[in-house]
Amino acid sequence: MNDAGTAAGTIGDWLRAQPALTGIAPPLDLGALPRDPVALFLTWIREAADAGVPEPHAATLATVDAEGLPDARTLILKGVGERGWAVAGPRSSRKGAQLAARPAAALNFWWQPVVRSVRLQGTVREASPAESEADLAARSVSARAGIEPGDWVLWWIVPSRVEFWQGSPDRRHTRIVYVAGADGWSLQPGDSTPLQTPGPDRT
């Protein structure tokens, strides 16, 4: 398919002309990373908020449908801790059906002003009915409107891999990868050092 043309050029030209990775990352000490990705995530989401990200708890949740096609939508993060990362929504939704059939998911955050992204993937566990009810009860009246009794579910994503990515103007981007093992979290060897990715087209 041809690129759509405009008086000023193609959409491809226009896209290439858009600035990318224009934020400024806060200091990051690769020699003092926490042993647990939850701790680093809490630091990064607070630094994103401090840098002016309006809704730092908004994230893209990816699931897989019955045909094996990936599906994704934006959700609000409801919790982070030893049990993983929590999101919530109606059981009767597409994501509800997809998670019931295949309890696995990925979650992605992008915080432009700090040139940082976090992504994680793992299995999904449904919270207890009481915990899901408590999450629904904590929502505003307008947000609760239209939710059928028992339909609201809190899901905990239990990650097997959590990746922290930080962009740099000189393209020496940093990637920090935590992998879950039998003995807890480990940093993936070689990934916690700045990566050299030269060239104008590399992001």
Ligand X SMILES: Cc1cc2nc3c(=O)[nH]c(=O)nc-3n(C[C@H](O)[C@H](O)[C@H](O)COP(=O)(O)O)c2cc1C
Which residues are near ligand X by CB under 6 A?
58, 71, 73-76, 88-89, 93-95
Q: Which residue has the tokens 């590399």?
A: 202
- Residue 97 beta carbon to ligand X: minimum distance, rounded to whole angstroms: 8
Rank residues 95 and 119 by Cβ distance to ligand X and give the closer one. Answer: 95
- Residue 130 beta carbon to ligand X: minimum distance, rounded to whole angstroms: 19
- Residue 24 beta carbon to ligand X: minimum distance, rounded to whole angstroms: 24
Please name every residue paired with 150 in a beta bridge, in sequence order, or none if there are none. none
Instruction: Note whether 151 and 92 are within 8 A (CB).
Output: yes
Decide: residue 168, CB within 10 A, 0-12 exposed, 13-18 middle, 19+ buried.
middle
Rank residues 93 and 188 by Cβ distance to ligand X and give the closer one. Answer: 93
What single DSSP character describes residue 114? Answer: G
- Residue 59 beta carbon to ligand X: minimum distance, rounded to whole angstroms: 9
Please give the Cα distance from 65 to 55 (Å, whole number): 28
Rank residues 95 and 173 by Cβ distance to ligand X and give the closer one. Answer: 95
- Residue 143 beta carbon to ligand X: minimum distance, rounded to whole angstroms: 9
Number of H helices, E strands in the chain: 5, 11
Rank residues 74 and 203 by Cβ distance to ligand X and give the closer one. Answer: 74
Rank residues 40 and 75 by Cβ distance to ligand X and give the closer one. Answer: 75
Q: Which of 84, 110, 85 is nearest to 166 (CA)?
A: 110
